[in-house]
Structure 1
Amino acid sequence: MWRCPRCGRTFAARNQTHTCRPLGDLDHHFAGKDPVVREIFDAVLGALPGPVEILSEKTRIALHVRMSFAAFVPRVHWLDGHVVLAEPLTSERFTKVETYSRHNVVHFFRLRTPTEVDEEVADWLSRAYAVGRGDHRR
């Protein structure tokens, strides 16, 4: 792990390109949003298979272990998110799937209620968590 000497963030690769700025307040992302949006995010956190670092960045909330494996953008009435998986996964719930590299496939989705954080979403988070730990490269 490499820690940026300027912002203090940790990365899997030394001198990794990033937006170097201090992290913000998590609650700021939920100001002016329906309370259900925070409930959805909390349900996501509850579905994670292990501990994470929550990075409250300027435009998103990233979930990070060895690398960031998921990110969320609170909207007024819903939560937009994505997970990084090691391979393409098919689900009608994905709004978009983009391949960035052989083992980094980003799957985008939208959650409107906490009950949508179900077994399927928990599976995505578990798979993405493994990518964040680097398990897919071993």
Structure 2
Amino acid sequence: MWTCPTCTQSFLRANQTHSCLEKTEADFLRGKSAVTVGLYHHFLAQYRTIGDFKIHPAKTMISLAKNTRFCSVFQFGRNFLDVCLPLNQVYDQTLCFHKIGHVGEKDINHYVRFYDKEDLNEEVLHFMRLAYALDAEKGK
């Protein structure tokens, strides 16, 4: 692991590209509705049942990381939460993703939108576990 001397974030590789910002998790949650904040905390609690991770606020999103960033909360809507799970193949035979897009050669971003805590169901948890497991493979 490499730690940036400027912002003290930890990364799998030395001199990994990132932005050294002073933005915090609280900055993202400030002014958001109780619904959105509740969804965010529920999402984090569910991910903590899968494994431990660090929260990395960035300029436009909050990422979750173990070895690398395996998930991003990229939109805090008025009554929803948008999350991106980078996976290694397309999973388009499910209704839980509202958008799927390729990033480079290996990562395929799968986007989930939560309006209610029940939207984070067993099928979504399966893909959350998969994203976490893929991160563990990268750390080997």
TM interval, shorter chain, is: 0.7 to 0.9
Secondary structure in 1 aligned to 2:26?
Answer: helix
Q: Secondary structure at the match of 1:115?
A: helix
CA shift at 1:60, angstroms? 1.1
User: Secondary structure at the residue paired with 1:89?
Assistant: coil
Q: Counterpart of 2:15?
A: 15
2:44 paired residue number:
45
Q: Residues 11-30 of structure 1, C-alpha deviation per residue, up to 9 Å, x if partnerless?
A: 222212211223x3322212
- Per-residue deviation at 1:61? 1.2
User: Which shows bigger deviation, 26-35 or 76-85?
Assistant: 26-35
Structure-1 residue corresponding to 2:59: 58
Contact 1:85 1:107 in 2 (8 A): yes
Task: Note the alpha carbon deviations across 1:85-133, whole angstroms, 9 max, x for none.
Answer: 1222122232221222443211112111111111111111111111222
- 1:98 aligns with one of 72, 90, 101: 101
More deviation in 98-107 or 67-76?
98-107
Instruction: Give, in whole Å, the separation in 2 of the partners of 1:92 and 1:37.
Output: 22
Give distance in 1, aligned partners of 2:56 and 2:109. Answer: 18
Count of residue pairs brought into register by the alignment: 136
Q: CA deviation at 1:137?
A: 7.9
Structure 1 gap ranges (5+)? none
Where in structure 1 do 4 or more consecutive aligned residues deviate above 4 Å? none
- What residue identity is the alignment partner of 1:40? L
- What secondary structure sits across from 2:39 in the alignment? helix
Aligned counterparts of 1:123 and 1:114: Cα–Cα separation in 2 = 16
* Alignment TM-score, normalising by the size of structure 2: 0.86
Deviation at 1:31, TM superposition (A): 2.1
Question: Given the two structures, how large is their TM-score scaled by the length of structure 1?
Answer: 0.87
Between 1:110-119 and 1:52-61, the stretch displaced more is 52-61
CA distance in 1, matches of 2:139, 2:58: 27
